[in-house]
């Protein structure tokens, strides 16, 4: 399981093991200020990042910043 | 900066031909007030009803509550930057209709309003059950965007409070409260700052500071009198229990208590407002900045009051941790979400530095409330407001709801006497 | 006229009931009239106000190996004596006995609505299992502490028997159950806050009104080796539901989660989906629900072969004032369903 969430400290506090930081609370996987195609690209990249996190073995709670 | 609040006690509210105050009764000209509401062409319909303490009345769904006031002397106008001209408030004389309020009612977004019971067991949870409410029921024109409806309601509520306040401009007050941060000669008294966090999470979760959307602020320092004189206005549609209405800001209980002990037990050095935003970057920046300001003004201790719950718990914890790391002692005021059975963890975030916490109650506690003879607004909305559920409206017309739904029940300015204890 | 005595049933294991040691640990539940073993000094301490009308006895091994049957028998036997209070132990450090005390108390309390109390040492493993549901009084770590334990237990039994209100754990001397209860107190939160700050600044003792909570950590799931052959599921606490919120998930304090089939859906559009979450500005999620539940991106990655398959069902709840206990319950139930469906990985999105 990977947790995609904006407020990483909460994710850490409640015990997620793989964390991917998201954009903002009301739109974790989007940014309404971007043109539509760029927003889709942003979302696709975040989801890819989440999938990469699923492929990494973790021992301790890990935030996937990059 | 010296602020005199001329307190005019209001013990009753009635409709009358003229909006005036006589013998502690506020008479309201309904036609004029409706006409004032209709000035905003985003509102299709407006009605005014009165609700007095002890009456079998339930007001639902309530958006904001505002205390009627008028500026008698001194700079600035009430609610500057919104319905008042821009100018620093907090000095001179402001007359206050104490015991009266304007309450705005309308279903903006569904989940995010609350209710007020004027009698019965629900009344003990809300400060607005103890005062005379002039209730504005405001309907939007067809197809109005919720944000525009929120703004129309917010501004109309403020205008109504100013309109009622004007009736007391020339009246001799029953009491005079004087607020002035006189210099403290005893240098051994601890320097204490008050950190007020303002919800600023989106167009329906916003707070206005001198007309500025709080999400655009960097934390800033101000005189407590400014808060007490209308610098902060609520634009919130969040859970009713722990949002700070405009009434709460005008009567901020932490400010009043720090004033009461200023020069005796402590040296009240000022108020810092900060925001509660939706990105981690913003949260880090604002909490860094607020903590740095507290350090810069040489405070020894800080009281940090949260608004809302959930992700703002993170801002609260960041502020606590960063200030404690600067050597500043902190006390936090928060409510709890411990579940309906009270058995869960109460906060979404925690840091070990948070060793001094005031709990203003578990918002998830369920209460059963009797039906009321008269409903102002729409009772059915109890099932969709935060803290309500399917079946919240009982067959008899009573309510079974979390106290989360009651206006101001767990106010994190420490306004009330509720707490939660561990059993 | 003498006041009616309150009735007490006492639970003991085979050893304290003086039936025998380990060799008798297999005896099934039985009930005896009157007080037995530690029940005798307990009865003395209760005096004339209360009476131990019966003693419930069970072998520790029998109980541990047949918990359901043992509990059922205890409840049935106890109910026949119509007690006002049920008391178990003290169990000291004995783990199996502690569990028998805790489980019996919990069941009697839940099924018969009778007030219950037990007693044990702070490191007894049963404490954490039952302290939320049952009053547990601290004792020493061995039977040598019996003399101190009896008056503490009898005082508590007396309060329960007379229907008196039970105060805070520190006042009454039971292990805190971690139950938060609302109370009105004499002073406002603001007054209490300033007082607490002054105490903290002066270095004087003060008591926080809410000690910081701790959260459970869970072991991490193993890494996925080859995404191309996996099924990935989407789960969200952000409240994305079909338009109209058909299962009426609450805007806050959710009591449920829901599942919706997305087979054949390539994009979440505002005419078919919305958010029902009451804790954030819904505008952006309602304009494009993919911003919270990234279905369009997952479909794209499914089509280009990055992942084997997007699971046909997504799960949703509202994480807004929803208790940790409910969240854990939903999480477990969703995980079981996903496992049963051979889903390999999950992306959980939160707002």
Chain-centre distance for alpha carbon B100: 15
Task: Yes or no: say if C268 and C290 are a contact pair by the CB < 8 Å rule.
Answer: yes
- For residue A52, the distance in angstroms to the closest alpha carbon of chain B comes to 22
B284 at the A interface (CB within 8 A)? no
Contact A27 C284 (CB under 8 A): yes
Chain-centre distance for alpha carbon C306: 41
What tokens does B240 get?
């009713």
User: Which range scores top for mean pLDDT: A62-66, B260-264, C126-130?
Assistant: B260-264
Tens-place pLDDT, residues C152-168: 999 999 999 999 999 99
| CA B123/CA B55 separation, integer angstroms | 10
Residues in a beta bridge with C241: C274
DSSP string, C214-249: -----PPPPPPS-GGG-EEEEEESB-EEETT-TT--
Among all chains, which residue has been given the structure tokens 């106010």? B411
Contact B280 A21 (CB under 8 A): yes
Chain B hits for C279, CB-CB cut-off 8 Å, are 238-239, 310, 386
Tens-place pLDDT, residues C270-291: 999 999 998 898 999 999 999 9
How sure is the predictor about B110, in pLDDT bands with cuts at 50, 70 and 90? low
| CA B178/CA B162 separation, integer angstroms | 21
Task: Yes or no: say if C87 and C109 are a contact pair by the CB < 8 Å rule.
Answer: no
CB environment B297-315: b (16+ within 10 A), e (fewer): eebbbbbbbbbbbbbbbbb
Contact C193 B254 (CB under 8 A): yes
Tens-place pLDDT, residues B346-374: 999 999 999 999 999 999 999 999 999 99
Q: Strand B267-276's sheet: what is its strand order?
A: B220-222, B267-276, B191-199, B301-305, B329-336, B357-362
| CA C39/CA C37 separation, integer angstroms | 5
B411 assigned to active site: no
pLDDT above 70 coverage of chain C, percent? 99
Burial class (CB in 10 A: 0-12, 13-18, 19+), C212: middle
Q: Is the dihedral of CA C298, C299, C300, C302 positive or negative?
A: positive
| CA B311/CA C279 separation, integer angstroms | 9
Residues 6+ apart with CB under 8 A from B336: B346, B347, B359, B361, B362, B363, B364, B410, B420, C180, C210
Tally the C-alpha atoms within 13 A of residue B134's C-alpha that lie toward its C-beta. Answer: 37
Please give the average per-residue pLDDT across C224-238, as a whole number: 96
CB environment A11-20: b (16+ within 10 A), e (fewer): bbbbebbbbb
How sure is the predictor about B111, in pLDDT bands with cuts at 50, 70 and 90? low
Task: Yes or no: say if B323 and B345 are a contact pair by the CB < 8 Å rule.
Answer: no
Closest CA to C309 of C269, C281, C342: C342
Task: Yes or no: say if B276 and B315 are a contact pair by the CB < 8 Å rule.
Answer: yes
- For residue A27, the distance in angstroms to the closest alpha carbon of chain C comes to 5
B348 at the A interface (CB within 8 A)? yes
What tokens does C151 get?
């008056």
B280 at the A interface (CB within 8 A)? yes
Chain A hits for B278, CB-CB cut-off 8 Å, are 6, 24-26
Tens-place pLDDT, residues A2-46: 999 999 999 999 999 999 999 999 999 999 999 999 999 999 999
Nearest to A15 among C218, C292, C348 (CB): C218
Looking at chain B, which subunits does it touch, using at least 3 CB pairs closer than 8 Å as the criterion? Answer: A, C
Looking at chain A, which subunits does it touch, using at least 3 CB pairs closer than 8 Å as the criterion? Answer: B, C
Contact B201 C281 (CB under 8 A): yes
Tens-place pLDDT, residues B32-72: 999 999 999 999 999 999 999 999 999 999 999 999 999 99
Nearest to A7 among B202, B311, B350 (CB): B311
How sure is the predictor about B208, in pLDDT bands with cuts at 50, 70 and 90? very high
**Axis-axis angle for helices C39-46, C146-161 (nearest 10):** 50
Nearest to C298 among A13, A47, A54 (CB): A47
Nearest to B336 among C192, C210, C326 (CB): C210
Q: Which of residues 79-118 of C touch B (CB under 8 A)?
A: none
Q: Which of residues 3-62 of A touch C (CB under 8 A)?
A: 3-6, 11, 13-18, 22, 25-30, 32, 40, 43-44, 46-48, 50-51, 54-59, 61
Chain A hits for C220, CB-CB cut-off 8 Å, are 17-18, 58-59
| CA C134/CA C119 separation, integer angstroms | 10
Instruction: Please state, rounded to an integer, the average pLDDT across all residues of chain C.
Output: 95
pLDDT above 70 coverage of chain B, percent? 99
Task: Yes or no: say if B204 and B147 are a contact pair by the CB < 8 Å rule.
Answer: yes
- Say how many CB pairs under 8 Å bridge A and C: 115
Chain A hits for B313, CB-CB cut-off 8 Å, are 10
Which residue, among A9, A29, A42, would best test binding to B if mutated, counting the most B CBs under 10 Å from its CB? A9
How sure is the predictor about C1, in pLDDT bands with cuts at 50, 70 and 90? very low
Q: Which fold has domain C6-172?
A: Rossmann fold (3.40.50)
Contact A25 B311 (CB under 8 A): yes
Closest CA to C305 of C223, C226, C222: C226
Amino acid A66: pLDDT: 74
What angle is formed at CA B208 by the lines to CA B206 and CA B214, rounded to 5 degrees? 65
| CA B37/CA B153 separation, integer angstroms | 9
Closest CA to B77 of B229, B234, B225: B229
What tokens does B294 get?
């507290």
| CA B246/CA B240 separation, integer angstroms | 13
Chain C hits for A25, CB-CB cut-off 8 Å, are 280, 351
Chain A hits for C217, CB-CB cut-off 8 Å, are 15, 61
Q: Which helix (H) or strand (E) holds B286?
A: helix B280-296
Task: Yes or no: say if C301 and A45 are a contact pair by the CB < 8 Å rule.
Answer: no
Amino acid C217: pLDDT: 87
Cα–Cα distance list, C141 to B36, B58, C98, C150, C323 (Å): 74, 56, 12, 14, 35
CB environment B363-372: b (16+ within 10 A), e (fewer): bbbebebbbb
φ, ψ for residue C324, nearest 5 deg: -60, -40
Amino acid B107: pLDDT: 85
Search chain A and give the residue with CA nearest B317.
A9
| CA C188/CA B160 separation, integer angstroms | 30
Instruction: Please state, rounded to an integer, the average pLDDT across all residues of chain B.
Output: 96
Tens-place pLDDT, residues B299-318: 999 999 999 999 999 999 99
Nearest to B338 among C215, C320, C323 (CB): C323
Is the confidence at residue C263, as pLDDT, over 50?
yes
Is the confidence at residue B79, as pLDDT, over 80?
yes
Task: Yes or no: say if C115 and C107 are a contact pair by the CB < 8 Å rule.
Answer: no
**Axis-axis angle for helices C295-303, A36-54 (nearest 10):** 70
ipTM of the complex: 0.98
Chain B hits for C180, CB-CB cut-off 8 Å, are 336, 338, 342-343, 346, 359, 362, 420-423
Nearest to A55 among C219, C227, C293 (CB): C227
Cβ–Cβ contacts within 10 Å for residue C272, how many? Answer: 12
- For residue B418, the distance in angstroms to the closest alpha carbon of chain A comes to 27
| CA B140/CA B108 separation, integer angstroms | 9
DSSP code of residue B309: S
- For residue A33, the distance in angstroms to the closest alpha carbon of chain B comes to 14
Nearest to C194 among B257, B363, B411 (CB): B257
Among all chains, which residue has been given the structure tokens 């854990």? C328
- The ranges assigned to domains in chain C are 6-172, 227-349
Please give the average per-residue pLDDT across B214-242, as a whole number: 96
Task: Yes or no: say if B269 and B285 are a contact pair by the CB < 8 Å rule.
Answer: no
SS3 state of residue C297: helix
φ, ψ for residue B355, nearest 5 deg: -100, 0
Tens-place pLDDT, residues C87-132: 999 999 999 999 999 999 999 999 999 999 999 999 999 998 999 8
SS3 state of residue C162: coil
Q: Is the dihedral of CA B136, B139, B144, B147 positive or negative?
A: positive
């Amino acid at each position: 399981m990977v947790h995609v969430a904006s407020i990483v400290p909460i994710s850490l506090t409640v015990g997620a093991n793989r964390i991917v930081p998201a954009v903002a609370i009301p739109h974790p996987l989007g940014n309404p200020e971007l043109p539509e195609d760029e927003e889709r690209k942003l979302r696709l990249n975040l989801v890819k990042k989440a999938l990469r996190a699923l492929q990494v073995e973790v021992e301790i709670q890990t935030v996937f910043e990059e | 900066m010296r602020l005199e609040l001329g307190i005019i006690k209001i013990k009753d509210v009635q409709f009358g031909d003229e909006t005036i105050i006589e013998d502690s009764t506020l008479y309201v000209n309904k036609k004029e007030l409706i006409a004032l509401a209709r000035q905003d062409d985003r509102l299709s319909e407006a009605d005014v009803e009165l609700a007095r303490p002890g009456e079998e009345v339930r007001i639902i769904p309530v958006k904001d509550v505002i205390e009627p006031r008028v500026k008698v002397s001194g700079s600035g106008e009430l609610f500057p930057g919104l319905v008042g001209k821009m100018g620093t408030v907090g000095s001179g004389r402001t007359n206050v209709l104490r015991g009266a309020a304007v309450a705005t009612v309308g279903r903006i977004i569904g989940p995010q309003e609350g209710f007020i019971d004027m009698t019965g067991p629900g009344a003990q949870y809300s400060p607005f059950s103890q005062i005379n409410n002039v209730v504005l029921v405001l309907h939007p024109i067809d197809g109005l965007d919720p944000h525009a409806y929120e703004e129309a309601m917010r501004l109309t509520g403020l205008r109504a409070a100013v309109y009622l306040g004007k009736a007391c401009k020339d009246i001799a007050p029953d009491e005079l409260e004087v607020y002035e941060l006189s210099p403290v000669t005893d240098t051994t008294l601890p320097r204490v700052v008050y950190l007020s966090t303002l919800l600023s999470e989106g167009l329906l979760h916003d707070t206005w500071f001198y007309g500025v959307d709080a999400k655009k602020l960097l934390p800033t320092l101000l005189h407590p009198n400014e808060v007490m004189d209308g610098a902060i206005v609520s634009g919130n549609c969040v859970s009713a229990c722990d949002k700070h209405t405009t009434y709460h800001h005008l009567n901020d209980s932490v400010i009043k208590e720090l004033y009461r002990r200023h020069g005796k037990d402590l040296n009240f050095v000022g108020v810092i407002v900060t925001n509660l935003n939706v990105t981690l970057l913003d949260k880090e920046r604002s909490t860094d900045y607020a903590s740095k300001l507290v350090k810069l003004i040489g405070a020894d201790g800080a009281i940090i009051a949260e608004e809302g719950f959930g992700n703002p718990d993170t801002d609260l914890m960041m502020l606590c941790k960063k200030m404690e790391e600067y050597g500043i002692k902190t006390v936090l005021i928060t409510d709890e979400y411990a579940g309906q059975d009270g058995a869960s963890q109460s906060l979404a975030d925690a840091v070990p530095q948070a060793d001094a916490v005031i709990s203003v109650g578990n918002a998830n506690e369920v209460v059963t409330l009797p039906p009321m003879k008269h409903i102002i607004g729409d009772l059915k909305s109890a099932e969709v407001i935060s803290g309500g559920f399917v079946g919240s409206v009982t067959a008899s017309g009573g309510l079974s709801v979390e106290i989360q739904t009651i206006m101001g029940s767990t106010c994190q300015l420490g306004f009330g006497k509720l707490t939660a204890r561990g059993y | 006229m003498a006041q009616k005595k309150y009735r007490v049933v006492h639970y003991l294991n085979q050893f304290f009931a003086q039936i025998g040691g380990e060799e008798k640990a297999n005896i099934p539940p039985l009930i005896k009239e009157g007080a037995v073993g530690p029940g005798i000094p307990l009865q003395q301490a209760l005096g004339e106000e209360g009476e131990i009308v019966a003693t419930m006895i069970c072998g520790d091994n029998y109980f541990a190996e047949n918990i359901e049957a043992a509990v059922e028998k205890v409840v049935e036997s106890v109910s026949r004596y119509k007690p006002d209070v049920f008391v178990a132990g003290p169990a000291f450090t004995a783990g199996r006995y502690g569990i028998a005390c805790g489980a019996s108390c919990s069941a009697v309390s839940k099924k018969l609505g009778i007030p219950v109390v037990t007693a044990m040492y702070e490191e007894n493993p049963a404490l954490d299992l039952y302290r939320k549901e049952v009053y547990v009084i601290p004792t020493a770590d061995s039977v040598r502490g019996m003399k101190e334990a009896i008056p503490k237990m009898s005082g508590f039994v007396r309060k329960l028997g007379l229907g008196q209100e039970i105060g805070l754990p520190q006042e009454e001397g039971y292990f805190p159950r971690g139950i938060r209860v609302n109370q009105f107190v004499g002073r406002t939160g603001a007054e209490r806050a300033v007082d607490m700050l002054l105490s903290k600044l002066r270095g004087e003792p003060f008591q926080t009104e809410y000690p910081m909570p701790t959260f459970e950590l869970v072991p991490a799931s193993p890494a996925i080796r080859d995404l191309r052959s996996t099924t990935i599921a989407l789960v969200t606490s952000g409240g994305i539901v079909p338009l109209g919120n058909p299962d009426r998930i609450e805007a806050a304090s959710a009591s449920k989660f829901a599942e919706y089939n997305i087979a054949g859906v390539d994009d979440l559009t505002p005419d078919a989906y919305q958010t029902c979450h009451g804790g954030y500005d819904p505008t952006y999620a309602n304009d494009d629900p993919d911003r919270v539940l990234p279905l369009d991106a997952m479909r794209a990655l499914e089509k280009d072969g990055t992942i084997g398959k997007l699971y046909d069902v997504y799960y949703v709840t509202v994480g807004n004032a929803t208790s940790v206990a409910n969240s854990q319950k939903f999480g477990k139930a969703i995980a079981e369903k996903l496992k049963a469906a051979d889903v390999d990985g999950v992306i959980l999105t939160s707002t």
